[in-house]
């Protein structure tokens, strides 16, 4: 009797022993449910949908190579091309319409915009809301400010709330940049400057016209996107005073928003302000 029970038990357990030796499961290491213990594939492998990399853009600032942050504000420790000794107290600028250029001539365009404020560390980097496909690229581009189709008065609530609007009497829309500080003038007085950039109002004897004055920035450099990556972009603040127009703060310091000549000079000087800072992925 005992033998019979033993045999029945053995027969019952044997299949379990056999299957445990040949564990079934997903055997593809690339699958999301890969089972390292599985010996035999059972067709259950599932795969995550492919996710393109997330890209973060971060902005870094220097004055001819000397790092600038809010901790270096309020000190007269910079000298520009014209020889003006100056401080920085406020630097805030809008970047929009970001583009990634592909080797085949196509480009990816992102609708994001970002207001970088050196007094707020968190504002200096932002993640693109859309992913960037893997591959090789030949450069990136962006608008400083909004281009004319995006520069619509009142349409960005977050920017309205921080007084980023450009006055309607000057053509409306939004500031490109607010850059303020103090400098030592020819009388050795310390006075302020407010280098605010936006639409340029031109008044002639017969007409008033408003010129779109955003700067399109293109940084040519070859890079590959393989994974989530952080791209840094450098602003050399000294360039705002340098090339092609040597900017003497004694001549141009305040009330520059309605000053057509100053606005056009700002746009001209924007061409070498930004440079590629590198990619980490």
Partner 1 sequence: MRFNYFIIIFALLLTSCKKHEGCTDASALNYDAAANRDDGSCKYVGVNYPYELDVPSQFEQLLPAPSIPANNPLTEAGVLLGRKLFYDPILSGNNTQSCASCHKQANGFTDNGYQFSTGIDLLQGDRNAMPLFNMAWNYNDTYFWDGKASGIENQVFEPVANPIEMHETWPNAVAKLQSDDEYPSMFNTAFGTETIDSNLVTMAIAQFERTLISGDSRFDQYIRGEISLTPSEFAGYNVFMDEAGGDCFHCHGDINNPLWTDNIYHNNALDATFSDLGRGAVTGNAADNGKFKTPSLRNLSYTAPYMHDGRFATLDDVINHYAVGLQNSATVDPLMKNVLSGGNQLNPQDRIDLKAFLLSLNDPNFVTNPDYQAP
Contact positions vs partner 1 (CB under 8 A): 73-74, 89-90, 153-154, 157-158, 160-163, 165, 167-169, 178, 180-182, 189, 191-194, 196, 253-258
Give whichever of 104 and 163 is closer to partner 1, judged by the CB atom. 163
Residue 69 per-residue DSSP state: -
Residue entry with tokens 């000549």: 261
Q: Are 102 and 138 in contact (CB under 8 A)?
A: yes
Give whichever of 86 and 108 is closer to partner 1, judged by the CB atom. 86
Give whichever of 16 and 251 is closer to partner 1, judged by the CB atom. 251
- Taking the complex as a whole, how short is the minimal distance between the CB of residue 226 and partner 1, in angstroms? 36
Q: Are 234 and 61 in contact (CB under 8 A)?
A: yes
Instruction: Give the whole-angstrom CA distance, residue 139 versus residue 8.
Output: 74
Instruction: Give the whole-angstrom CA distance, residue 160 versus residue 144.
Output: 17
Helix extents (H) in 161-204: none
Residues sharing a CB contact under 8 Å with residue 29, sequence separation 6 or more, in sequence order: none
Instruction: Give the whole-angstrom CA distance, residue 235 versus residue 240.
Output: 10
Give whichever of 165 and 243 is closer to partner 1, judged by the CB atom. 165
Instruction: Give the whole-angstrom CA distance, residue 146 versus residue 153.
Output: 11
Instruction: Give the whole-angstrom CA distance, residue 262 versus residue 268.
Output: 10
Instruction: Give the whole-angstrom CA distance, residue 203 versus residue 234.
Output: 35
Give whichever of 142 and 166 is closer to partner 1, judged by the CB atom. 166
- Taking the complex as a whole, how short is the minimal distance between the CB of residue 180 and partner 1, in angstroms? 4
Give whichever of 29 and 161 is closer to partner 1, judged by the CB atom. 161
Q: Are 191 and 241 in contact (CB under 8 A)?
A: no
Give whichever of 185 and 228 is closer to partner 1, judged by the CB atom. 185
Question: Of 280, 276, 252, which Cα lies nearest the Cα of 266?
Answer: 252
- Taking the complex as a whole, how short is the minimal distance between the CB of residue 161 and partner 1, in angstroms? 5
Backbone angles phi, psi at 231, to 5 degrees: -110, 130
Question: Of 178, 103, 115, which Cα lies nearest the Cα of 143?
Answer: 115
- Taking the complex as a whole, how short is the minimal distance between the CB of residue 75 and partner 1, in angstroms? 9
Give whichever of 231 and 267 is closer to partner 1, judged by the CB atom. 267
């Amino acid at each position: 009797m005992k033998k019979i029970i033993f045999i029945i038990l053995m027969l019952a357990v044997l299949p379990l022993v056999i299957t445990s030796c040949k564990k079934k499961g997903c055997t593809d290491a690339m699958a999301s449910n890969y089972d390292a213990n599985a010996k035999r594939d059972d067709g259950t492998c599932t795969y995550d949908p492919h996710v393109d990399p997330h890209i973060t853009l971060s902005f870094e600032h220097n004055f001819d190579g000397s790092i600038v942050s809010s901790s270096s504000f309020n000190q007269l420790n910079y000298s520009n091309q014209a020889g003006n000794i100056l401080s920085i107290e406020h630097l805030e600028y809008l970047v929009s319409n970001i583009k990634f250029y592909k080797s085949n001539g196509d480009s990816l365009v992102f609708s994001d915009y970002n207001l970088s404020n050196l007094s707020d560390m968190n504002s200096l980097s932002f993640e693109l809301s859309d992913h960037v496909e893997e591959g090789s690229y030949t450069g990136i581009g962006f608008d400083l400010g909004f281009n004319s189709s995006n520069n619509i008065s009142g349409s960005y609530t977050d920017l309205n709330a921080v007084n980023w609007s450009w006055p309607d009497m000057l053509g409306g829309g939004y500031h490109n940049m607010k850059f303020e500080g103090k400098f030592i003038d020819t009388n050795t007085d310390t006075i302020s400057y407010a280098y605010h950039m936006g639409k340029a109002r031109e008044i002639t004897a017969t007409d008033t016209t408003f010129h779109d004055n955003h700067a399109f920035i293109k940084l040519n450099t070859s890079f590959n996107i393989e994974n989530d990556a952080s791209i840094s972009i450098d602003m050399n603040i000294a360039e705002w005073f340098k090339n092609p127009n040597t900017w003497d703060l004694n001549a141009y310091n305040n009330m520059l928003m309605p000053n057509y000549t100053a606005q056009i000079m700002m746009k001209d000087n924007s061409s070498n302000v930004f440079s590629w800072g590198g990619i980490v992925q």
